[in-house]
């Protein structure tokens, strides 16, 4: 289960706006998350939420263009039917487990290095089966559109997910225009996730149709987000190192970088053997 969860992190980081690709790593992830949570609940991000909502409203006539990207993502995810690719799934999981072992060995040899400890914590971050089911349900909503839900409540959740997917889309545009430094962007991304889940939880609490399973999924997701955001920051730094977006700060990070580069290459080769569509290379990174 742990390997699948780690694989899901790598998959989502390159196919959705779920997790930010930061170029500045924050070592004290948990403190950062705690600070954002405190400020969010204190109302310090209310102005930001109003501003991004205003942009969302102003861009309504262009939503269909942005949603084409979401549609492409949904189609791509549907193409990768792991149920018909057991051999590929097994090979991918084996690669991730091998990478985990090598990264763990780096930590064992360099336990005092801050980043190696963060990598260790990411590797051994395990969800319970119920937590994983909730996490997967939340992300499954990201591949759906209005009317795809099985219940009226699920359709409301899909509508909320689409709204915040678009807000993430516009936030990414603002970042591309260099209007936000990486740390500010990271915090705002977390705030959008928190606000999305608050809205979803609100809809679940109002539901009178007995959708207890969905309510449980969203409640669990609300509890999980702080832990997932902290772990995903480590993951994003690993990927940024592997893609050469940032430079290692010391010889330990260089060892970690070399390991990640090697396994990105292995995954790319594996994917290219299974899919002729070049867009599937995204899944090797």
**Domains of the chain, residue spans:** 2-16+27-284
Burial of 146 (C-beta count, 10 Å sphere; 0-12/13-18/19+) = exposed
Look at the block and give the residue holding tokens 């979401």. Answer: 70
Burial of 110 (C-beta count, 10 Å sphere; 0-12/13-18/19+) = middle
Q: What is the pLDDT along the chain (285 residues), one digit of tens a residue?
A: 444 444 444 444 333 333 344 434 444 566 788 889 999 999 999 999 999 999 999 888 888 877 887 777 666 666 555 445 667 778 888 998 999 999 999 999 999 999 999 999 889 888 888 988 998 899 889 888 888 899 999 999 999 999 999 998 888 887 777 766 777 888 898 899 999 999 999 999 999 888 899 999 999 999 888 778 777 778 878 888 988 888 999 999 999 999 999 999 998 888 777 765 444 444 434
Q: Which pLDDT value is given to residue 1?
A: 41
Beta carbons within 8 Å of 277's beta carbon, 6+ residues apart: 79
Return the beta strands (E) in the chain as ranges: none
Q: Which pLDDT value is given to residue 158?
A: 95
- How many CB atoms are located within 10 Å of the residue 14 CB? 15
Q: Which pLDDT value is given to residue 251?
A: 96
Distance, CA of 252 to CA of 255 (rounded, Å): 5
Distance, CA of 75 to CA of 70 (rounded, Å): 9
Q: Which pLDDT value is given to residue 75?
A: 66
């Amino acid at each position: 289960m742990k390997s699948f969860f780690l694989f899901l992190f790598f998959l989502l980081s390159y196919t959705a706006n779920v997790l930010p690709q930061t170029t500045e790593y924050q070592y004290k992830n948990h403190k950062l998350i705690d600070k954002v949570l405190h400020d969010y609940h204190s109302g310090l991000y209310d102005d930001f939420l109003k501003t991004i909502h205003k942009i969302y409203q102003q861009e309504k006539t262009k939503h269909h263009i942005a949603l084409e990207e979401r549609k492409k993502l949904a189609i791509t995810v549907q193409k990768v039917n792991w149920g018909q690719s057991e051999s590929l799934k097994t090979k991918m999981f084996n690669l991730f487990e091998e990478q985990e072992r090598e990264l763990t060995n780096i930590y064992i040899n360099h336990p005092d290095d801050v980043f190696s400890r963060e990598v260790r914590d990411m590797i051994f971050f395990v969800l319970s089966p119920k937590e994983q089911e909730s996490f997967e349900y939340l992300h499954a909503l990201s591949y759906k559109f209005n009317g795809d839900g099985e219940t009226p409540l699920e359709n409301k959740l899909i509508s909320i997910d689409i709204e915040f997917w678009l807000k993430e889309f516009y936030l990414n545009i603002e970042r591309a225009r260099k209007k936000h430094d990486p740390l500010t962007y990271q915090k705002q991304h977390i705030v959008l996730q928190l606000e999305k889940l608050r809205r979803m939880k609100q809809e679940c609490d109002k539901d009178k149709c007995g959708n207890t399973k969905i309510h449980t999924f969203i409640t669990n997701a609300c509890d999980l987000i702080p832990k997932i955001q902290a772990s995903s920051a480590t993951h994003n730094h690993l990927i940024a190192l592997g893609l050469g977006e940032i430079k290692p700060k010391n010889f330990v990070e260089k060892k970690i970088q070399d390991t990640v580069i090697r396994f990105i290459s292995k995954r790319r080769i594996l994917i290219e053997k299974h899919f002729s569509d070049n867009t599937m290379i995204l899944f090797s990174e």
